[in-house]
Amino acid sequence: MKKYLCGAWIGLVACMVILFSTVSCLAQDAARVTEETELKQACMAAAVTAIQTEISRHEKWLAFRNQQGDSQGVKELEDSLALLRADLEKYRHMDVAAYVLPEKVVTPAWVENLAAEDTLLHIDMMTKSGPFYHLAGVTGGDYTVLQVNTRYNMTFYRVYPRSYWNMNSDYIYVAAMEK
């Protein structure tokens, strides 16, 4: 009888250990999924901000051309605006699960002016030809956490291309930074 109870007790303890470790793994997986979902949502929101900024820039260019009576390039600007508006609708209605996170970039970076939407982010390898990274979102939503001329080890995602001649330029979402 003692052997039976001892065996049953060992079996029960083994089952409990397996159960608790499974629950722990599931909880970790759920936390990882939630963290990734939140990052995707933040990147998507930054992409919407970026597209709205691009639409505004294109509308100003178009208005300037029309005001000057310069019809050269108007068709291209109108076509670009149509594509931007279509992208805006796409991102506004996209399911988070369908969004693919862009490549993560980790690099030293800083701002030279008070940080806000569309502020230029400087990196070590930036030249007069780029790459140019403009803020479209920052973790927590508060751009002022980026102090002027303070170098951070920054993690960001390029969420949308920025129209800037033929130079490498993107809007980014800053996911993490540390001094």
Q: How confident is the model at residue 118 (pLDDT cuts 50, 70, 90)?
A: very high
Pairwise pLDDT comparison (25 vs 120), residue with the higher score: 120
Decide if 105 contacts 157 (C-beta within 8 A).
Answer: yes
Tokens encoding 22 = 């499974």
Task: Enter the pTM of the model.
Answer: 0.79
What are the residue ranges spanned by the domains of the chain?
104-178
Please calculate the CA angle 105-106-111 and round it to the nearest 5 degrees: 95
Q: DSSP E strands: which ranges in the chain?
A: 104-111, 120-123, 132-138, 152-161, 169-178
Lowest mean pLDDT across 63-67, 103-107, 117-121, 129-133? 63-67
Q: Which helix (H) or strand (E) holds 76?
A: helix 74-93
pLDDT value of residue 149: 97
**Which numeric CATH code is attached to 104-178?**
2.40.50.500
- Say yes or no to pLDDT of 136 above 70: yes
* 155, 105 contact by CB (below 8 A): yes
45-96 confidence digits (pLDDT tens):
999 999 999 999 999 988 988 888 877 878 888 999 999 999 999 999 999 9
Across all residues in the chain, what is the average pLDDT? Answer: 87
